[in-house]
């Protein structure tokens, strides 16, 4: 499992999306007949793909549009939508800033002392989503979870996400009050999703604390720079496999199934399919949805920690606008690079692999295949089309 990297020190090899491929078996299924249902608490979603809680991706209008298509869009309670009554001008400023100014501008616009989160806007945004008769799911950092969750539940929220760069049950701090995750999960009146984790041990402790689902992934997002700034992270295939092993162990021991959600690092349909094969029950995607016409970022996307006052761990990137949310999620695809019709790609992959539902997808064969992206693709690579982009 591990190789020597020096005297007395070993390191194990871990794998990301580009290094593996999925192998068809002896049965195939009509893609129109596969079941992609994702269950969270009492809610069933026909689309197991979540739009990440990032301000360039999700606002009220986007959450409603995503909900009407059968998916989930997560609203960030620490962000622009709850700091500003009319956030359109703020989003325009971020989109129009030059690259050298973008991070500094984002830091200033999210500064708590000048532009704090307004409790009335938390309730207002959730009520606006619920008015459209779609599920409302929100997220915030642990420090704000106790206060924000009470407001959110009263406003009718359907699930609450507590999200940090690294989530642990045993967080140590003396400068501020630490959120008791076990108590929080037990007293919550809605499902609680906790993240982010990347190891078996981390996932198991979060599950045992009472989480309704767990987010997997540290630093793989297109706009995240945590891996460069902090040097931490585990490639998503290995992280997902390890965390799902904790889920399966807990299920065998306690009889309770806690979904794993691979969060970040997936740009195209094939990578989403590989996440499910690694054991994921749902995926959370940011940059792919930032390209939607309905996304509030105007073709730009920035990391959740871009606004950190002292150590930004995200950046603003330009992703452009490639189509409508429906085209990106359901098709028909207008591009050939796998960035549109994500649900169609998942269903077609499942059918080709013989997986009738997501749980059967967990059992398909995965191989190490470092040439999978380049084999036979010399013209695409040379012309920068298709898989060569």
- Name the residues annotated as catalytic: 224, 318
Looking at the chain, how many residues does it have? 389
Q: Are 19 and 367 in contact (CB under 8 A)?
A: no
| Phi, psi torsion values for 138, nearest 5 degrees | -130, 165
Cα→Cα distances 349→137, 345, 353, Å: 28, 6, 6
**Structural contact between residues 41 and 212, judged by C-beta atoms closer than 8 angstroms:** yes
Q: DSSP character for 116? A: P
| CA–CA dist 155, 359 (Å, integer) | 34
User: Could you give the CA distance from residue 115 to residue 47 in angstroms, rounded to a whole number?
Assistant: 35
CB-based contact 181:158 (threshold 8 Å): no
Whole-angstrom distance, CA of residue 366 vs CA of residue 63: 34
Pick from 131, 11, 114: nearest CA to 60: 131
Contacts (Cβ under 8 Å, ≥6 apart) of 366: 20, 21, 22, 23, 237, 274, 277, 278
Q: How many helices (H) and strands (E) does the chain have?
A: 16, 16
Distance between CA atoms of residues 361 and 369, nearest Å: 19
């Amino acid at each position: 499992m591990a190789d020597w990297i020096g005297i007395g020190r070993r390191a194990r090899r871990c794998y990301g999306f580009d290094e593996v491929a999925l192998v068809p078996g002896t049965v195939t299924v009509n893609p129109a007949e596969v079941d992609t249902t994702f269950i969270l608490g009492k809610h069933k979603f026909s689309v197991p793909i979540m739009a990440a809680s990032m301000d360039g991706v999700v606002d009220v209008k986007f959450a409603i549009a995503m909900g009407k298509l059968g998916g989930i869009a997560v609203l960030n309670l620490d962000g622009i939508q709850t700091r500003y009554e009319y956030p359109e001008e703020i989003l325009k400023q971020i989109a129009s800033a030059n690259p050298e100014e973008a991070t500094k501008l984002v830091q200033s616009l999210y500064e708590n002392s000048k532009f704090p989160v307004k409790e009335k806007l938390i309730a207002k945004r959730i009520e606006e989503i619920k008015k459209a008769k779609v599920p409302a799911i929100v997220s915030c950092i642990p420090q704000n979870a106790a206060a924000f969750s009470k407001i959110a539940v009263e406003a009718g929220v359907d699930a609450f996400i507590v999200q940090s760069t690294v989530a642990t049950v045993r967080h140590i701090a003396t400068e501020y009050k630490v959120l008791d995750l076990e108590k929080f999960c037990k007293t919550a009146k809605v499902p609680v999703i906790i993240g982010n984790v990347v190891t078996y041990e981390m996932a198991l402790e979060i599950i045992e604390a009472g989480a309704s689902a767990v987010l997997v992934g540290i630093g793989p997002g297109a706009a995240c720079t945590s891996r460069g700034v902090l040097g931490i992270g585990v490639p998503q295939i290995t992280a997902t496999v390890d965390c799902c092993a904790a889920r399966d162990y807990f299920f065998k021991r306690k009889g309770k199934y806690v979904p794993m959600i691979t969060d970040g690092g997936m740009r195209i349909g094939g990578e989403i399919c590989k996440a499910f094969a690694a054991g994921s029950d749902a995926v959370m995607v940011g940059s792919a949805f930032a390209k939607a016409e309905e996304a509030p970022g105007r073709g730009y996307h920035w990391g959740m920690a871009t606004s950190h006052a002292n150590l930004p761990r995200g950046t603003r990137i330009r992703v452009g606008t490639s189509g409508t949310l429906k085209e990106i999620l359901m098709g028909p695809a207008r591009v050939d690079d796998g960035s549109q019709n994500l649900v169609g790609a998942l269903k077609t992959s499942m059918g080709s692999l013989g997986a009738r539902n997501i749980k059967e997808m967990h059992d398909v064969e995965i191989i190490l295949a470092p040439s999978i992206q380049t084999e036979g693709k010399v013209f695409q690579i040379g012309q920068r089309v298709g898989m060569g982009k």
